[in-house]
Amino acid sequence: MLPVIRIGPAAMQSSALALIAALWLGAFVAEREFKRRGLHGDDAWNSVAIAIAVTLVTARLVYVAQNLDTYADAWIEIFAPVPGTLALEFGAVFGILAILGYFQHRRLDFKRVADALAPGALVACAIIAIGQFLSGDAFGTPAELPWSIVLWGAARHPVQLYDAFATLIGLAIIRRARAGLIALTALAWYSAARLFVDGFRADAAFLPGGYRTSQVIALAILLIALALIARKGESNVQVNQIQTNDQRTSG
């Protein structure tokens, strides 16, 4: 575990460094994919920058709204650079909506853009998982296995590495996916991976009965992604049949 990386007198949290690396490398991969698909590379960087800005601002505003009494006496603290005072789960929703708004504004084909963003998103997820491994976050349940890691007083599943490994396999899988289905395949694979891997996670949000919230959400997203893939696949088959019939008729 390496929660803090020291460079000279400065001490930096490895999870924060991993997040920065994930965003940068994710955007870099997305830029390359955008260019490869005939889109503007700048749109990749712009969408990531807009997502970060909107996520941070709205996450802070939601946090302020949740703690209005506290901020009423010290409104200047709304601008305090304290990462703990962010409602990130809400901010992320607004960040995604902002990206969709940007694509709409730029009149970009959503399916094409989503396909181009998918590899970068998976790369970012893998780096974040490695950052969690370094910081000791998102740790696993106790297990006596040859590959267990000793963390927080017990030998545990290295779930962060399972997560990173599964995400990297996802990168290989989406290379074989058809255009138009790449983003959905990535979403389905990542959801399936989280559904499985989080079964070994101890540091999680729980629903009554000890069910992990992340697994329930992952299963719901997986089913939606599969339904969309099925619909898309079916419509492709129908288009192919119509084209074949047209060719026969004209022949």
Binding site for another protein (CB under 8 A): 3-4, 11, 13, 63-64, 66-67, 70-71, 74, 77, 80, 82-85, 136, 141-142, 152-154, 195-196, 198-200, 202-203, 206, 209-212, 215-216, 219, 222-223, 226-227, 229-230, 233-234
DSSP 8-state class, residue 75: G
Helix axis angle, 88-105 to 110-135, nearest 10°:
150
Residue closer to another protein (CB basis): 41 or 142? 142
User: What's the closest the beta carbon of residue 8 comes to another protein, in angstroms?
Assistant: 13
Cα gap 251→239, rounded to integer Å: 18
| Residues 126, 164 contacting (CB under 8 angstroms) | yes
Cα gap 42→102, rounded to integer Å: 12
52 token code pair: 């970060």
User: What's the closest the beta carbon of residue 172 comes to another protein, in angstroms?
Assistant: 21
DSSP 8-state class, residue 39: S
User: What's the closest the beta carbon of residue 240 comes to another protein, in angstroms?
Assistant: 15
Residue closer to another protein (CB basis): 25 or 229? 229
Total Cβ atoms within 10 A of residue 200? 16
User: What's the closest the beta carbon of residue 128 comes to another protein, in angstroms?
Assistant: 18
Residue closer to another protein (CB basis): 76 or 179? 76
User: What's the closest the beta carbon of residue 63 comes to another protein, in angstroms?
Assistant: 8
Residue closer to another protein (CB basis): 180 or 203? 203
Residue closer to another protein (CB basis): 41 or 233? 233
User: What's the closest the beta carbon of residue 99 comes to another protein, in angstroms?
Assistant: 28
Residue closer to another protein (CB basis): 63 or 103? 63
CA–chain centroid gap for 205, Å, is: 17
Closest residue by Cα to residue 47 from 104, 87, 119: 104
Q: Which residues of 45-54 are buried (b: 16+ CB within 10 A; e: fewer)?
A: bebbeebeeb
Phi and psi for 109 in degrees, rounded to 5?
-70, 115
Cα gap 133→136, rounded to integer Å: 5
Residue closer to another protein (CB basis): 71 or 165? 71
User: What's the closest the beta carbon of residue 120 comes to another protein, in angstroms?
Assistant: 26
